[in-house]
Structure 1
Amino acid sequence: MKRNVVIGVLGTTLDKRGKRENRWTKWRPTIGLCQQDWLTVDRLELLHQPKDKGMALQAAEDIGKVSPATQVVLNEVELSDPWDFEVVYNALLDFASRYPFDTESEEYLVHITTGTHVVQICWFLLTEARYLPARLLQTAPGEKTDRANSPEGTASVIDLDLSRYATLTSRFLREQQQSVSFLKSGIETRNKTFNTLIAQIERVALRSDAPMLLTGPTGAGKSFLAQRIYALRESRHLVKGSFVAVNCATLRGDNAMSTLFGHVKGAFTGALQARTGLLREANDGVLFLDEIAELGLDEQAMLLKAIEEKKFFPFGSDKEVSSDFQLIAGTHRNMQEWIAQGRFREDLYARINMWTFRLPGLAERCEDIAPNIEYELQRFARNQKSQVRFDKGAKEEYLAFACSSQATWRGNFRELSASIARMATLAEQGRVTKALVDEEVVRLKTNGQERGSSTVFSAVPEHIDLFDRRQLETVIEVCRNSPSLSEAGRRLFAVSREQKKQPNDADRLRKYLVRFGLSWDDVKNS
């Protein structure tokens, strides 16, 4: 049979019971573990600090009296601070690294009852990581008799087979997945890039209250995501206040100052009563400023102060007020271009740019159109109390169009939502038929062409061949929906670029536009 070897530290409190005879009536963990009927301790490796050597010798002597067959080996280990995790972990790891384990002929147990809580945690970590090829041993005082505790106490082995705790592990993973699913409102999205993005946003939302900037085309879901971030933080008790949202494109002049920062009575013509302002309404909560790039420069300066100092002056007041809010901002603008044109403060951008996430448009997430269709049908059913389903052939036809180049989806998810709502409203007996889909596809194509004539065509030079015109329209549309020249080039030349060792997509796109007398700025700003 293998010999049993116990490794443990001297308990400077629990093992310290003096030298008098009454020490034998008290429970001492290190001595008690050698008095168990079911456990034979052949060798005890007892770790102690140099200053406690006398106490360690006393413990070894007492073990010799209750268990003569137990060999006690004293090991001096210097712990400058037994409550410092790094100090303790390094010292115990050094001991484990030097120790001559013989697993062929010896079974090892690590006694975790004695020592500081830090020592106990480090024993667990080292054993679980298999730096110590051992099992954990736990001792406890026995039941009280008429006069004292049972001096030998009890002992038990802790099973570190984590497969026994699979339910706990699966619950943790389930909770984590539910957090991500919560941000996506339960939509089973399939786009790998988007799923990775949402997983990162979930981690940031639960770990940081720094400003977040959501970018991407109009209708990509920035407002919806901001609300879900707030709801997630609220569910974890990370915020106590409200979710307050405003579209900055609707704010102009005195109204902008008043809406955001509040005003005092008489601050301007028509200010008959004082106003709190959205920043104060968002105290201890989340303030979502959609289209933040549309804010005026004066409002931007005040917002920067409010973010950094949590204080600001209401319009027309000489008395500061405070508000501790988390800012989530949204924009479809190219912020670098906006800064270069002097339309957005660089210092404010630096402050809100710590966590920036670009939400891709619907055309970049064709894999997610099908699950979003199901989501929109469920939402229609909740709102209208009416179940609607696609006929099989009708759904296949709609998906084929939705994922094709004919569907521009300039309105992104907002446009998809409207499209599904139209068909669901017109559906007879809760069925979206092929005829309804045909009608909706024509409507989407017509809407796309009408919008294209007022936007894309304004940048296309006249008197060019139809072939070149159609190709250029596609290039311009991709440029309009891309945040940078390089990103537009990557999307346009995704196939051919793989054949080049050093593709320069931006330069290739720039040269193409020059052929028609166009530049990147012409396309983005026309």
Structure 2
Amino acid sequence: MKPLTVVSFLGSTLDAAKFGPSRWSKWRPSVALAMHEDLRIERFVMIHAAMHRRLADQVSEDIASVSPETRVERQVINFDDAWDFEEVYGKLLDFARALDLDPEAEDLLVHITTGTHVAQICLFLLTEAHYLPGRLIQTQPARRVDGAAPGSWAIIDLDLSRYDSIATRFAEDRAQGTSFLKSGIETQSRAFNAMIEEIEQVAARSRAPILLMGPTGAGKSQLARRIHQLKKLKRQVAGAFVEVNCATLRGDGAMSALFGHTRGAFTGAATAREGLLRGADKGMLFLDEIGELGLDEQAMILRAIEDKRFLPVGADREVDSDFQLIAGTNRDLAQGVAQGTFREDLFARLNLWTFTLPGLAQRREDIAPNLDYELDRHAEREGERISFNREAREAYLAFATDPRAPWKGNFRDLAASVTRMATFAPKGRIDTATVTAEIARLQRLWGAAGPTRDGLDDLLDDAALTALDPFDRVQLAFVIDTCRQSRSLSEAGRTLFAASRTQRTSTNDADRLRKYLARFGLRWGMLEGEDLKS
């Protein structure tokens, strides 16, 4: 066995006793540690303050009497404030770095029974970070009052990977957090689920601003609200969730709504107004469509984020508000910066945690679980459970998941669609007639006879369209769109085959594209006019 070294604080209370024979009737952790026959301590590094020198002398002598082979090394460390975490950790870090220790030649135990709670925490952190390359040891007295007994000791294993129950519980807690953010919806989109897992980690560990991007109706507002609720459940925020659509803020009213105003600040200001930022103190502020804010409001928002202070309209004294910001937008803020409509410094501040929510058309595999979720929401609102019959559900999902369905309003379209069908459902059951009527309504809403036009209807007859698999139709539509944006067949070929062409010794992208179009009875000239050059 390697020689054993122990690092331990002298316990100014636990190790203290009257200076006389009666001290042996009390359990003293430092002395008791050296009494264990199964712990042959060669070196005992005792940390103490200069003011406890006499106690350190006595304990050192008693350790020598119960364990003559143990060499006590005294390390004097004085703390101006033993409860100041920064000071204690800093001085103990210096001690750990200077400690003469060879991990290859000796084992180290770090005793955390004695010392203040701050000191114990610091020893734990230094051991976990391997500044003290050893294991933690905890001691306690015997159950029966017997000062002569050494009590018991136990090693605290810091390798959490060995604790299956802890790892399982941690994974379950993470899963519950992500499920909560998804409102309990069993989403199937891998990309979306991975993004929600990242958001859960950010929400749990950071108070920095979060930027949610994505089209209108993609669920930014709902997700922001769930982030706030999750942080509140974990007691990370105490205040309210304040939501504002920046597109509704115009002119002088924008400043007043966001930052508040004093009485008489302007004509009509008969009373003072707190403002939305003050209302979000200790909580969360969600600025939806933040790209609609004016530059002046953006500047004040930036200052409020960084300094937690701002000036209400008409006031001569700043006020405080400590909130976490979530911003939402369907605009390209980077483009706004380039065009001078959005402040670069604010964008940089918001861009630390940016997540882009996909539209419903990019998450077709999630339409079915969201359909059930919307039926549950309807039941909660109206107090009546509505369901589909089997044929009606299959018909609606076939339409909803068709690649041609644009879902322009995203989840808002889906929610409205479910509400309409549930309202018209005869006897609480959505039948095929109700679904047929709703499909026609959505087609009118989207301005097309089918789910959406993809350019193939004008090129192929009904028989050819019917023979196309949905996969082939999406691919062909993309090819045709690329062709129509290209100046020649060769240019379109280079764009479409950019990756695979590098793997071939000879390339003829135009011929490859021409043969692909010919599979569907199409020619280049049919796409833009017969006079185009190939």
The TM-score with structure 1 as length reference comes to 0.71
Aligned mates of 1:298, 1:57 — CA distance in 2 = 69
Q: Which residue identity is paired with 1:155?
A: S
Query: What does residue 361 of structure 2 align with?
Result: 363
User: C-alpha displacement at 1:223, in angstroms?
Assistant: 1.0
Aligned mates of 1:110, 1:318 — CA distance in 2 = 56
Aligned mates of 1:204, 1:43 — CA distance in 2 = 47
Superimposed CA distance per residue, residues 164-208 of structure 1 (whole angstroms, 9 cap, x where no aligned partner): 965554433333322222211111222122122222222222322
Matched-pair contact (CA < 8 Å) for 1:244–1:287 = yes
Matched-pair contact (CA < 8 Å) for 2:113–2:120 = no
Aligned mates of 1:317, 1:477 — CA distance in 2 = 60
| Residues 301 and 123 of structure 1: CA distance in aligned 2, closer, same or farther (over 3 Å) | closer
User: Which of residues 308, 316, 329 in structure 2 aligns to 1:310?
Assistant: 308
Aligned mates of 1:171, 1:284 — CA distance in 2 = 29
Aligned mates of 2:329, 2:441 — CA distance in 1 = 28
User: C-alpha displacement at 1:350, in angstroms?
Assistant: 2.1
User: C-alpha displacement at 1:266, in angstroms?
Assistant: 4.4
User: C-alpha displacement at 1:412, in angstroms?
Assistant: 0.7
Superimposed CA distance per residue, residues 2-34 of structure 1 (whole angstroms, 9 cap, x where no aligned partner): x99976446644667798544443434455457
Q: Equivalences for 1:114-153 in 2 at 5 Å?
A: 117=120, 121=124, 138-140=139-141, 143-144=144-145, 149-153=146-150
Query: What does residue 295 of structure 2 align with?
Result: 297
Matched, 1:72 2:69: yes
Per the alignment, in what secondary structure is the counterpart of residue 285 of structure 2? strand
Aligned mates of 1:303, 1:109 — CA distance in 2 = 52
Aligned mates of 1:98, 1:278 — CA distance in 2 = 63
Q: Which residue identity is paired with 1:353?
A: N
| Residues 353 and 93 of structure 1: CA distance in aligned 2, closer, same or farther (over 3 Å) | farther
Query: What does residue 506 of structure 2 align with?
Result: none
Per the alignment, in what secondary structure is the counterpart of residue 181 of structure 1? helix
Aligned mates of 1:258, 1:278 — CA distance in 2 = 9
Matched-pair contact (CA < 8 Å) for 1:257–1:315 = yes
User: C-alpha displacement at 1:416, in angstroms?
Assistant: 1.1
Aligned mates of 1:29, 1:270 — CA distance in 2 = 73
Per the alignment, in what secondary structure is the counterpart of residue 217 of structure 1? coil
Aligned mates of 2:341, 2:499 — CA distance in 1 = 38
User: C-alpha displacement at 1:92, in angstroms?
Assistant: 8.3
Query: What does residue 204 of structure 1 align with?
Result: 202
User: Which of residues 39, 42, 46 in structure 2 aligns to 1:45?
Assistant: 42
Query: What does residue 280 of structure 2 align with?
Result: 282
Q: Which residue identity is paired with 1:218?
A: T
Matched-pair contact (CA < 8 Å) for 1:4–1:43 = no
Query: What does residue 62 of structure 1 align with?
Result: 65
Matched, 1:246 2:255: no
Per the alignment, in what secondary structure is the counterpart of residue 466 of structure 1? coil
Aligned mates of 1:263, 1:173 — CA distance in 2 = 47
Matched-pair contact (CA < 8 Å) for 2:9–2:47 = no
Superimposed CA distance per residue, residues 129-183 of structure 1 (whole angstroms, 9 cap, x where no aligned partner): xx87x99673425644xxxx52224225458698996555443333332222221
Aligned mates of 1:448, 1:362 — CA distance in 2 = 14
Q: What value does the CA root-mean-square deviation take over the aligned residues?
A: 4.7
| Residues 431 and 262 of structure 1: CA distance in aligned 2, closer, same or farther (over 3 Å) | same
User: C-alpha displacement at 1:119, in angstroms?
Assistant: 8.2
Query: What does residue 183 of structure 1 align with?
Result: 181
Superimposed CA distance per residue, residues 212-253 of structure 1 (whole angstroms, 9 cap, x where no aligned partner): 221110100111111112222222333332222121112222
Per the alignment, in what secondary structure is the counterpart of residue 97 of structure 1? coil
Stretches of structure 2 that go unaligned for 5 or more consecutive residues are: 79-87, 461-472, 483-493, 504-523, 529-534
Matched, 1:466 2:473: no
User: C-alpha displacement at 1:391, in angstroms?
Assistant: 2.2
Matched-pair contact (CA < 8 Å) for 2:112–2:120 = no
Per the alignment, in what secondary structure is the counterpart of residue 230 of structure 1? helix
Q: Equivalences for 1:223-238 in 2 at 5 Å?
A: 223-238=221-236
| Residues 35 and 436 of structure 1: CA distance in aligned 2, closer, same or farther (over 3 Å) | same
Q: Which residue identity is paired with 1:279?
A: L
Query: What does residue 499 of structure 1 align with?
Result: 500
Query: What does residue 218 of structure 1 align with?
Result: 216
Query: What does residue 424 of structure 1 align with?
Result: 422
Query: What does residue 484 of structure 1 align with?
Result: none
| Residues 154 and 221 of structure 1: CA distance in aligned 2, closer, same or farther (over 3 Å) | same
Per the alignment, in what secondary structure is the counterpart of residue 447 of structure 1? helix
Matched-pair contact (CA < 8 Å) for 2:209–2:353 = yes
Query: What does residue 414 of structure 1 align with?
Result: 412
Aligned mates of 1:233, 1:431 — CA distance in 2 = 38
| Residues 58 and 363 of structure 1: CA distance in aligned 2, closer, same or farther (over 3 Å) | same
Q: Which residue identity is paired with 1:47?
A: F
Matched-pair contact (CA < 8 Å) for 1:142–1:151 = no
Query: What does residue 519 of structure 2 align with?
Result: none
| Residues 54 and 317 of structure 1: CA distance in aligned 2, closer, same or farther (over 3 Å) | closer
Q: Which residue identity is paired with 1:154?
A: G
Aligned mates of 2:313, 2:479 — CA distance in 1 = 43
Matched, 1:97 2:97: no
User: Which of residues 443, 446, 464 in structure 2 aligns to 1:445?
Assistant: 443
Q: Which residue identity is paired with 1:98?
A: A
Per the alignment, in what secondary structure is the counterpart of residue 429 of structure 1? helix
User: C-alpha displacement at 1:364, in angstroms?
Assistant: 1.3
Aligned mates of 2:317, 2:10 — CA distance in 1 = 59
Aligned mates of 2:160, 2:474 — CA distance in 1 = 60
| Residues 478 and 247 of structure 1: CA distance in aligned 2, closer, same or farther (over 3 Å) | farther
Superimposed CA distance per residue, residues 345-403 of structure 1 (whole angstroms, 9 cap, x where no aligned partner): 22222232222211111111122212111111110111111112222333233223222
Q: Which residue identity is paired with 2:371?
A: I
Aligned mates of 2:437, 2:299 — CA distance in 1 = 50
Query: What does residue 68 of structure 1 align with?
Result: none
User: Which of residues 191, 194, 198 in structure 1 aligns to 2:192?
Assistant: 194
Aligned mates of 1:119, 1:307 — CA distance in 2 = 32
Aligned mates of 1:180, 1:118 — CA distance in 2 = 31
Per the alignment, in what secondary structure is the counterpart of residue 447 of structure 2? helix
| Residues 73 and 299 of structure 1: CA distance in aligned 2, closer, same or farther (over 3 Å) | closer
The TM-score with structure 2 as length reference comes to 0.70
Superimposed CA distance per residue, residues 284-326 of structure 1 (whole angstroms, 9 cap, x where no aligned partner): 2222211111122232233333333333333344444333332
Identity of aligned residues (%): 44
Aligned mates of 1:196, 1:165 — CA distance in 2 = 26
Matched-pair contact (CA < 8 Å) for 1:45–1:72 = yes
| Residues 46 and 353 of structure 1: CA distance in aligned 2, closer, same or farther (over 3 Å) | same
User: C-alpha displacement at 1:405, in angstroms?
Assistant: 1.5
Matched-pair contact (CA < 8 Å) for 2:209–2:324 = yes
| Residues 496 and 446 of structure 1: CA distance in aligned 2, closer, same or farther (over 3 Å) | farther
Query: What does residue 486 of structure 2 align with?
Result: none
Query: What does residue 389 of structure 2 align with?
Result: 391
User: C-alpha displacement at 1:281, in angstroms?
Assistant: 2.2
Matched-pair contact (CA < 8 Å) for 1:137–1:158 = yes
Query: What does residue 507 of structure 1 align with?
Result: none
Q: Which residue identity is paired with 2:120?
A: H
Per the alignment, in what secondary structure is the counterpart of residue 408 of structure 1? coil
| Residues 79 and 240 of structure 1: CA distance in aligned 2, closer, same or farther (over 3 Å) | same
Deviates more, 1:236-245 or 1:163-172: 163-172
Matched-pair contact (CA < 8 Å) for 1:251–1:295 = yes
| Residues 26 and 197 of structure 1: CA distance in aligned 2, closer, same or farther (over 3 Å) | same
Query: What does residue 346 of structure 2 align with?
Result: 348
User: C-alpha displacement at 1:450, in angstroms?
Assistant: 5.2
User: Which of residues 152, 156, 161 in structure 2 aligns to 1:155?
Assistant: 152
Aligned mates of 2:433, 2:249 — CA distance in 1 = 44
